[in-house]
């Protein structure tokens, strides 16, 4: 195995140590990666296992398999049932959970540092030895079908799902990560077990932890459990083509219209992502953004409106979400279009850029007071980019963005073709 510390800048003479000073990374001989961020003064530990496989890595028939496994792994292992797992983590005041995305599935736990061995043992056990019993499979299928039904009843969720179907037509990125009623009904235990066996292998696994954690002890434990396994395959992904779908209108007898707008954007390692983050902050992320101030505060056209950026290994998206009364839809879209035209044509002001840099810098630094955020940063970066960008470097790259770069990204992303989705009475 190889072991190295993440290289970090000197900090420009700062008397404070680098925030990445205690980050360590080890790669087992079979490719499994262990990344830790030690905080000796922390009273807690956040640990996680990231699987580099998600919704886009499933066939149409297997759609929803990753999310199904997210549920099933907590139902029991060879030696524990679901109640034993819940009792063990609750008995130390900790918690365990998981989530599924397009390109990864993550299982995580947080617990007091003095009980970290208990939580880590549980976490590794559910990923290493899930029982996947027949009766648990059938019962969890019903739970997931209820989850799908609840999502279908939420017009905000539906407008978002329809938007991404149109942004990435006939591509796995356009599918609902939960799967569909048809695909979940059609999944068999053997098919899901085979999916687990094929993809939950060392080449796709990252173990990440932050807090008062001993890196070497964690590596030894992970190596003991997974070190003799073969690396296994990694998913091969097809980049979506340039096609966009038609905008979607779904009529429902509800009080307001839920709107979503979207544009194709940048991949996770694109150098323009720093400019895009700053552009998004000025455009629609937060209460000082143009969208919130002009659409909500000045004109009262919606209770809330915001934009968000999502990145994938080969593409990305910017989306805007809001809800408004049927009679205000045209006015709202007209105001959004005016804001878009101005941003694409003229970019943002230097004052807006400076404020965005200050906001993102402050939020970024304050978030790393939390061990859960530090753990997520390690796991996400290693899984999506294959390595960690040091905090000092990340902040320096944000600070170096110019207003010309922001305008170029605005032209590239927000100046491209847009798709829309609406759910409501109009």
Q: Indicate which residues carry an active-site annotation.
A: 70
28 vs 25: CA distance, rounded Å? 10
Neighbours of 192 (CB within 10 A): 21
- Cβ-based neighbours of 243, under 8 Å, separated by 6 or more: 169, 170
Give me the DSSP letters along 223-248. HHHHTTS--------PPP-S--PPPE
Beta strands in 40-145 (DSSP E): 44-51, 95-100, 105-112
Do the Cβ atoms of 110 and 120 come closer than 8 Å?
A: no
With H, G, I as helix, E, B as strand and everything else as coil, classify residue 308. strand
111 vs 60: CA distance, rounded Å? 38
Tokens of 139: 């019962």
Nearest residue to 319 (alpha-carbon basis) of 336, 338, 335: 336
Give me the DSSP letters along 327-359. GGHHHHHHHHHHHHHHHHHH---HHHHHHHHHH
Length of the chain: 426
Burial per residue of 150-177, b for 16 or more beta-carbon CB atoms within 10 angstroms, e otherwise: eeeeebbbbbbbbbbbbbbbebbbbbbb
């Amino acid at each position: 195995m190889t072991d190295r510390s993440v290289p970090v800048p000197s900090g420009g003479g700062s008397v404070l140590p680098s925030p990445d000073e205690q980050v360590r990374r080890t790669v087992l001989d079979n490719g499994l990666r262990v990344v830790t961020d030690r905080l000796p003064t922390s009273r807690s530990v956040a640990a996680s296992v990231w699987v580099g496989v998600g919704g886009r890595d499933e066939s149409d028939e297997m759609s929803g398999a990753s999310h199904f496994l997210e549920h099933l792994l907590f139902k029991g292992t060879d030696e524990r049932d679901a109640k034993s797992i819940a009792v063990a983590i609750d008995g130390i005041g900790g918690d365990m959970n998981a989530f599924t995305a397009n390109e990864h599935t993550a299982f995580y736990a947080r617990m007091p540092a003095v009980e970290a061995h208990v939580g880590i043992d549980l976490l590794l056990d559910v990923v290493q030895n899930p029982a996947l019993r027949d009766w648990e499979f059938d019962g969890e299928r019903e739970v997931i079908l209820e989850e799908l039904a609840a999502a279908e009843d939420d017009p905000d969720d539906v407008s978002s799902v329809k938007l991404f179907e149109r942004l990435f037509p006939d591509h796995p990125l356009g599918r609902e990560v939960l799967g569909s009623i048809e695909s979940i009904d059609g999944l068999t235990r053997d098919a899901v077990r085979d999916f687990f066996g094929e993809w939950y292998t060392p080449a796709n696994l990252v173990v990440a932890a932050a807090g008062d954690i001993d890196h070497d002890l964690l590596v030894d434990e992970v190596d003991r459990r997974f070190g003799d396994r073969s690396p296994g395959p990694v998913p091969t992904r097809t980049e979506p083509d340039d096609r966009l779908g038609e905008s979607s209108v779904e009529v429902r007898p509800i009080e307001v219209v839920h709107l979503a707008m979207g544009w194709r954007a940048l991949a996770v390692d694109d150098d323009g992502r720093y400019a895009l983050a700053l552009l998004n902050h000025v455009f629609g992320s937060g209460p000082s953004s143009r969208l919130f101030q002009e659409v909500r505060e000045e004109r009262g056209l919606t209770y809330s409106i915001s934009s968000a950026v999502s990145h994938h290994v080969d593409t990305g998206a910017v989306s805007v979400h809001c809800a408004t009364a049927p009679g205000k839809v045209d006015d709202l879209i007209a105001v959004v279009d005016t804001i878009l035209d101005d941003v694409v044509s003229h970019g943002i002001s230097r004052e807006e850029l400076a404020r965005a840099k200050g906001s993102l810098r402050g939020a970024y630094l304050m978030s790393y007071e939390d061990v859960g955020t530090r753990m997520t940063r390690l796991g996400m970066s290693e899984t999506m980019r294959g390595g960690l960008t040091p905090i000092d470097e990340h902040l320096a790259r944000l600070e170096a963005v110019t207003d010309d770069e922001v305008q170029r990204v605005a032209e590239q992303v927000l100046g491209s073709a847009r798709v829309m989705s609406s759910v409501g009475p109009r």
